[in-house]
Amino acid sequence: MSEDQLNLLEELDYSILQQCMHCGMCLPSCPTYTETLQEKSSPRGRISLMRSIADGDTKISKNFAEEMYFCLGCLACQTACPAGVDYANLFENARGEIERSKVLSSRKRDLIRRWTLGWLFMSLSRLRKLGKFLRFYQRSGIESFLRKSKLMRLLPKTLRELEPLTPRISPYFTRDYYSQTFDPINSEFRVALISGCIQDISFAETNADTIEVLRANKCEVILPLKQECCGSLHAHNGELNLARDLAKKNIDSFVPERLDAIIVNSGGCGSHVAHYDRLLKDDVDYAERAKVWSGKIRDIHEYLVEIDFRVPTVGCGIEAVTYHESCHLKHGLGVSDAPRTLLKAIPDLKFVELHESDWCCGSAGIYNITQPEMSMKLLDRKMENIKRSEVSVVATGNPGCAVQLQYGGKMADETFEVKHPIQLLAAAYRAEVKGK
């Protein structure tokens, strides 16, 4: 037996592999299977491939690796599975084994991964420096000049394709404007906010609105200044040791034992940080603290409903909104009704249910970069459904989805705005103050 096979048997929970009954209930929920109709590109097909390797029948190969990375990791199969198979666990461990086996290794790929996963996303200070550079690029006129002058054609094909997907950088970052603690009058709850990395750099206004809404609902809000990237990007790309390092840094930064809740307003981040206990279960120093941490994680929508949030008395200035569900918010955290509850509570705001609201938009972390063809197929499907909704605003609770939907709207020449549900609730609260 090869070392790679042995490692896979040691890492994967074989009981989870055995849980899959191959019933096929997951097939209609899987975007890649729906598009390709190939069994290997279905959840049960991928589990069969994993089991074949775990049994020693086949080896980790390039074909196996490419199929595992063709998976969106949307976790819709988990929601659909009657046996409760923990596909997220299998998915991350399989990719971890792929990276350990180096079957996809190349000079270019290894360099990109070392620079992004191993260096850039290991430090929020580095990410903010990159954000400042991109902010200057976008706001100085250089971006506009390059696009109009057709100089973009001189860039390598990969960079040309990536450039339109670059998120707009916020005029400020969350920690540029806020101190560590926000103490409202008559506070009843003590919470801390995960500010995120992309959320902090490109959607700082969402973090600001989250703090504002929490304070309006009697929450003392703490913003730990030493927090780092949540590590989801690392875990989903097979770098589990790096993900563990970031998890431990965040636990130390937040001190979950002193909090009523740890609030997250990004579906992708939330799904990952909620499972720090699984990630660190074998760490003698952090296993118990990770259990406390995971027990304190609350999605912002979920938490507001739990504490009986204050319903605004006036509207937010928007006539109609629909809601696109972040895959990991729904399938990873199980949060689906709460965002709708918040939106429907805003006076004079018409809520329009989006057809296939929980169908993946194709963002899936960096999937729109690594698998652009499949990503765009899914985005086109999503755009058709949004167009039929006839609304001016699409609400979603994940920054990756927001960037993808904004790009899709631009490409389809649609005029809708993309907002976080919390932004609309915050706008309604502010309208109350202005009306007094």
Single-letter amino acid code for the residue at 286:
Y
Instruction: Report the CATH number that the domain containing residue 297 is assigned in CATH.
Output: 3.40.50.1860
Instruction: Report the CATH number that the domain containing residue 41 is assigned in CATH.
Output: 1.10.1060.10
Whether 207 is in a domain gets the answer yes
Please tell me whether residues 198 and 228 are part of one structural domain: yes
Please tell me whether residues 140 and 182 are part of one structural domain: no
Does the structure show a pLDDT above 90 at 160?
A: no
Average pLDDT over residues 291-318: 97
Does the structure show a pLDDT above 90 at 13?
A: no
Total number of domains constituting the chain: 4
Q: Give the pLDDT confidence score for residue 3 in this predicted structure.
A: 43
Rounded Cα distance between 110 and 98, Å, is 13
Three-class DSSP labels, 30-97: CHHHHHHCCHHHCHHHHHHHHHHHHCCCCCCCHHHHHHHHHCCCCCHHHHHCCCCCCHHHHHHHHHHH
In this predicted model, what pLDDT tens digit does every residue of 269-293 receive, in sequence order? 999 999 999 999 999 999 999 999 9
Please tell me whether residues 297 and 328 are part of one structural domain: no
Whether 350 is in a domain gets the answer yes
When pLDDT is cut at 50, 70 and 90, the band that residue 1 belongs to is very low
Which residues constitute the domain of residue 79? 3-101
pTM of the model: 0.93
Q: Give the distance between the most distant pair of CA atoms in the chain.
A: 74
When pLDDT is cut at 50, 70 and 90, the band that residue 266 belongs to is very high
Whether 9 is in a domain gets the answer yes
Please tell me whether residues 361 and 419 are part of one structural domain: yes
In this predicted model, what pLDDT tens digit does every residue of 203-241 receive, in sequence order? 999 999 999 999 999 999 999 989 999 999 999 999 999
Final residue before a domain boundary, out of 279, 306, 333: 306
Among the ranges 143-157, 174-188, 268-282, which has the highest mean pLDDT value?
268-282
Helices (H), 255-352: 267-273, 276-279, 287-296, 300-306, 327, 337-345
Please tell me whether residues 197 and 161 are part of one structural domain: no
